[in-house]
A and B are shown apart, each in its own frame.
Chain A
Amino acid sequence: MNNSQQLTNKNNCIIFGNSDIANFIIESLLNSNNNYNITLLSEESFNTKFNNDIYILKGNIYDPKILNELDFPNTSLSICCSKDTNLNILTSSYIKSLKAENIFCCSYETQYNNLLNSQNIITFNPWNIPTKLNSYWRK
């Protein structure tokens, strides 16, 4: 998959961070037959079984070069799901300020579940994926 494909399809999804829950979500989206173009942005290098099916970017969200690669207006779903809850919360808010829509933020602690409500960001725990999120892959 190349980036030009990403830019022309409103079915784009961006996953921020590499984690078990990120892998689960990617697999679910790929298996959904909804033809999602998935971009995975991660600060660390890694190997994934989805190498051929998704577009992988290594770097930080605040890097202007990385930002140029991400096309929020044509992105239907953004999920912040690294292993670091605090980073997910900040990244969610940051991409909200960049006008991203349908943002989901993974938190490993329940005390943050309502923290981003005022920004219209849905915070979820990896053990309890909300219906609104899994509706992206469930029929």
Chain B
Amino acid sequence: MYIVIIGANNISEQLIDWYSKYNHEITIVEKNLNKCHEFDQLYGPICQHGDATDLNIQKSSGMERADILIVATKNDSTNFVISSLAKSNFKVNTIINRINNMNYSKAFEENGFDILINVESSILKSIEQETSILAPWPIAKLQTNPLKEIIGIKINDDSNILGKSITEIELPSHCQLLLIIRSNGITDIPSGHKTIHSNDELIVLIQEGKKESVLEYLS
């Protein structure tokens, strides 16, 4: 795959390391010339110097053949313009945006930029997962009709379903338990007599937007 990343920063460094392992081709677009040199020295010729809000720079970066565009600057309006240009001029299919102010998420989503990463939300989510009972984390969105998603839920000592067997658990109709990950990391296919223990993680298929009723049942 060909991946274009906007912004030479810590996030892009991690992404280069990760994508390189799978032999994907990467270009970083960066406004700051010194940062460009720094990245080129570290990773080989990887950086395209220029402002990605400029259509010609996007063209030079090979945007027309990009499979994935990752826009990771700290400025929401810059990210929005870059994404809009790439989508309307180069028909990039997958655009991932860093969003700093979640209030703008509606504008991004209504333009089809629905993969939004908010650093603060991600940190809070991680904290919730580590400390709270039922903080579900998203795993995948499925393009089914109606839309469905797969989420993970960690069960703690207060849960309603603790000690119950799978047959005793009556999840809402729009919800299906796919997998149990035990606290020791062993995976278990949910079936009849198997029981739910504290610190189990449940992987659940639910209809999009109906998360709350599942959480209410499990809490």
Interface residues of A (CB under 8 A from B): 62, 84-87, 89-91, 93-94, 96-98, 111-112, 114-116, 118-119
Bound complex: CA of A77 vs CA of B118, how far in Å? 32
Contact indicator A90/B54 (Cβ below 8 Å): no
Residue with the highest number of chain B CB atoms closer than 10 Å, among A62, A90, A112:
A90
Residue with the highest number of chain A CB atoms closer than 10 Å, among B54, B109, B111:
B111
Chain B residues numbered 77-111 whose CB sits less than 8 Å from any CB in chain A: 77-78, 80-81, 84-85, 88, 101, 103-104, 106-107, 109-111
Contact indicator B107/A96 (Cβ below 8 Å): yes
A86-B81 contact in complex given A111-B54, A111-B55, A115-B88, C-beta closer than 8 Å: yes
Given contacts A87-B77, A89-B77, A93-B110, 14 further A-B contacts (CB under 8 A): A62-B101, A86-B53, A90-B80, A91-B77, A93-B107, A94-B104, A94-B107, A97-B106, A111-B54, A114-B88, A115-B81, A115-B85, A116-B84, A119-B111
Contact indicator B111/A93 (Cβ below 8 Å): yes
Q: How many contacting A-B pairs (Cβ < 8 A)?
A: 51
- Complex A-B, nearest 5 residue pairs according to Cβ-Cβ distance, in ascending order: A62-B103, A86-B77, A94-B107, A90-B77, A93-B107
Q: Shortest CB–CB separation between residue A58 and chain B, in angstroms?
A: 17
Bound complex: CA of A10 vs CA of B124, how far in Å? 43
Q: Shortest CB–CB separation between residue A44 and chain B, in angstroms?
A: 16
* B: contact size bracket: 20 to 34
Q: Shortest CB–CB separation between residue A88 and chain B, in angstroms?
A: 8
Contact indicator B88/A84 (Cβ below 8 Å): no
Give 5 A-B contacts (CB < 8 Å), ordered by A residue. Answer: A86-B53, A89-B80, A90-B81, A93-B80, A97-B109
Bound complex: CA of A113 vs CA of B70, how far in Å? 24
Bound complex: CA of A119 vs CA of B113, how far in Å? 14
Q: Shortest CB–CB separation between residue B86 and chain A, in angstroms?
A: 11
> B126 within 8 Å of A by Cβ?
no
User: B55, B76, B109: which contacts A90 (Cβ < 8 A)?
Assistant: B76
Contact with A along B125-153 (1 / 0, CB 8 A): 00000000000000000000000000000
Contact indicator B104/A112 (Cβ below 8 Å): no
> B160 within 8 Å of A by Cβ?
no
Q: Shortest CB–CB separation between residue B174 and chain A, in angstroms?
A: 27
Chain B residues numbered 50-74 whose CB sits less than 8 Å from any CB in chain A: 53-55
Bound complex: CA of A111 vs CA of B53, how far in Å? 10
Which B residues are in CB contact (< 8 Å) with A97? 106-107, 109-110
Which B residues are in CB contact (< 8 Å) with A94? 104, 106-107
Residue with the highest number of chain A CB atoms closer than 10 Å, among B77, B78, B106, B111:
B77
Closest to A92 in B: B107
A62-B104 contact in complex given A86-B78, A89-B80, C-beta closer than 8 Å: yes
Bound complex: CA of A84 vs CA of B80, how far in Å? 13
Which B residues are in CB contact (< 8 Å) with A119? 110-111
Bound complex: CA of A93 vs CA of B106, how far in Å? 9
Bound complex: CA of A97 vs CA of B110, how far in Å? 7
Which A residues are in CB contact (< 8 Å) with B53? 86
> B75 within 8 Å of A by Cβ?
yes
Bound complex: CA of A93 vs CA of B108, how far in Å? 8
Contact with A along B141-182 (1 / 0, CB 8 A): 000000000000000000000000000000000000000000
